[in-house]
Amino acid sequence: MISVKKFIPGIAWFFLVLILICLPGDDLPKTEDWMSAIYFDKWVHIGLFAGLGFLFMMPICKSSTLSKKEKWQIVIKIAIAASVWGITTEFIQKFFIVGRAFDLWDWAADSMGVLWALIFCKKFFLK
């Protein structure tokens, strides 16, 4: 059994993401033209969700009680759940947060971040 304590960083990161997506649009910093040109906001989404996926996947990958197959199955489920959380945040922004909107490309960036975490964990921890 994996201790819940090992998931505390992931849980904390989850709430950080929740707080950030609940910021009203007027509270967000205005981006410069060059930041828009490099799609800075998408890189932020990728980073946030790569961190989220990684922090929940690591305790599974480092478990000594699970087989490689079990680890992989759980890590895939974490990746799916994190991607679903990404689309959920977009709906939260659309319906509940003033000055924010649904952006399918943000969800794509969220999912890309989760995919990066999955690939990283597969390559370095689930060989």
pLDDT tier at 31, thresholds 50, 70, 90: low
- Segments in 1-127 forming alpha helices (H): 8-21, 33-37, 40-61, 68-96, 104-125
Distance, CA of 16 to CA of 75 (rounded, Å): 21
For residue 123, the model assigns a pLDDT of 97
Distance, CA of 33 to CA of 29 (rounded, Å): 13
User: Which pTM was predicted?
Assistant: 0.91
- Whether the per-residue pLDDT at 34 is higher than 80: the answer is no
First to last CA, the chain: 22
For residue 37, the model assigns a pLDDT of 60
For residue 81, the model assigns a pLDDT of 98
For residue 38, the model assigns a pLDDT of 65
Give 42's contacts (C-beta < 8 A, 6+ positions apart).
105, 106, 109
Distance, CA of 81 to CA of 89 (rounded, Å): 12
Distance, CA of 78 to CA of 99 (rounded, Å): 30
- pLDDT digit string, tens, across residues 43-99: 999 999 999 999 999 999 999 999 999 999 999 999 999 999 999 999 999 999 999
- Whether the per-residue pLDDT at 28 is higher than 70: the answer is no
Residue 35: what are its φ and ψ, rounded to 5°?
Answer: -70, -35
For residue 14, the model assigns a pLDDT of 98
Specify burial of residue 41 (Cβ count, 10 A radius: 0-12, 13-18, 19+): middle
- pLDDT digit string, tens, across residues 102-122: 999 999 999 999 999 999 999
pLDDT tier at 127, thresholds 50, 70, 90: confident
